[in-house]
Amino acid sequence: MAYKYSGLLGRRPADPFPEIDDPSYNPFDPKSRERIEANIRAQFNERVEALFKDCKVDWADPEGWRKVALTLAERHIIAFKGSSKAGRKRTVDFNVIAEMHSIVQEGESIKNAARIVLQRRGRTDQRRAAALETAYARELDGLAQSNKLVEGWARQKLKIN
């Protein structure tokens, strides 16, 4: 969903040249040009200040422009946005996974290890056991992928065949 701007940033700017419709306006008069330029600068500064405020960045921050740029990138550039997957994020209790792993290392099956861990924690729901099995398998798979990656880097660095 696109970010919705409000207030000054949510509407088109006012006409910076209202003097042009004034019959006394003279484009060759330096004072007329100065008034228009001052009006343009004032409107621009007002919009920039509103942008900093909308991005929750302090105007005086020396890194302010960088923070505003990154905030705008996160809002509007797909590559800077987080995952677009809907739903509840997966949370893994690594203590539970470690406890389950130690039980599996003792010779129990993954299914039995999940059941044992849940019983120790006072839970017996079969759906939780199935979810814990899946989480354990996912963590093992992620660990295997990480190990392959590290081994690949080591081979490249050490030039081992």
Q: According to the model, what pLDDT value does residue 18 have?
A: 67
Q: What is the pTM of this model?
A: 0.47
Give the span between the Cα atoms of 61 and 55, in whole angstroms.
13
Q: How confident is the model at residue 68 (pLDDT cuts 50, 70, 90)?
A: very high
Give Dmax over CA atoms of the chain in angstroms. Answer: 94
* Cβ partners under 8 Å of residue 108, min gap 6: 116
Q: In this predicted model, what pLDDT tens digit does every residue of 17-62 receive, in sequence order?
A: 666 677 777 778 888 788 878 888 888 899 999 999 999 999 899 9
* Cβ partners under 8 Å of residue 80, min gap 6: 70, 73, 74
* Cβ 114 vs Cβ 157: under 8 Å: no
Asked whether the predicted pLDDT for residue 144 surpasses 80, the reply is: no
Give the span between the Cα atoms of 157 and 159, in whole angstroms.
6
Q: How confident is the model at residue 161 (pLDDT cuts 50, 70, 90)?
A: very low
